[in-house]
Amino acid sequence: MRKIVEISEEVYQCLMDGKCVEGSMRMEKPRKLIVFNNYKRTKPRRYPKVLLGRTDFGKVYKTKTRHRWTESMPSNLGAVRMARIMERDCKQAQEIIATAEIIDRV
């Protein structure tokens, strides 16, 4: 059995380049054709991050929409000591963000 599948030129080019194309396929009853519609997804925006400052075990970044605070510490420190370090670095990160906001307003 042979059926005709209708696809756009853009999808055809992607297939000829060896790429996979995600989409939906349906049957059009009046024309008795199978129609393929590709998903036109947009890539998520990635805003550049600016380093505001460093804490003892981490860094504080700022993007257009968010503030990011990352930490990395050795696992052999123990839970209690790591909790204290995280509290101290949290206060440092808060000071860094407050300082950056003051500088931005001036």
Domain range summary for the chain, segments of one domain joined by +: 5-38, 50-105
pTM: 0.59
User: Based on the number of CB atoms within 10 Å of its own CB, is 40 exposed (0-12), middle (13-18) or buried (19 or more)?
Assistant: exposed
pLDDT in tens, 17-57: 999 989 999 988 888 888 888 898 888 888 899 999 999 99
Residue 15: in which H helix or E strand, if any? helix 9-16
pLDDT in tens, 61-104: 999 989 999 999 998 999 999 999 999 999 999 999 999 999 99
Tokens of 22: 């995600």
Cβ atoms of 58 and 89 closer than 8 Å? yes
Instruction: Describe the chain by its helix, strand, coil percentages, rounded to 5.
Output: 35, 25, 35
Residue 94: in which H helix or E strand, if any? helix 79-105
